[in-house]
Amino acid sequence: MTTQINEQVSVSLAYDANNGKAFPYIMKRKNEVIKFEKLGFHHKVYEGKDLIHYFHLIANGTFFKLRLDTNTLSWRLIEIASPA
């Protein structure tokens, strides 16, 4: 089941110097800390002049979609999907 969220969250980003990639590592939502286990997919889109990064991540068998606005450097949790 997929739930649309669209709420601002705090995110810690990690950078792997071996492959030159950055990815969300930890998300704080309300009083919960979620540590991501795997980056499933990352893509970029332009919304007007703003470059937006979308990250699809997995934590504890749950799928998360995060949005990073590079203009404001703000993070939003877009959706959560639980396995059926």
Nearest of 82, 4, 71, 64 to residue 28 by alpha carbon: 64
- Mean pLDDT of the 40-44 span: 94
Tell me the C-alpha distance between 82 and 84, whole Å.
6
Q: Pairing state of beta strands 50-59 and 62-69?
A: antiparallel
pLDDT at 74 over 90: yes
Q: What is the pTM of this model?
A: 0.91
Tell me the C-alpha distance between 47 and 54, whole Å.
12
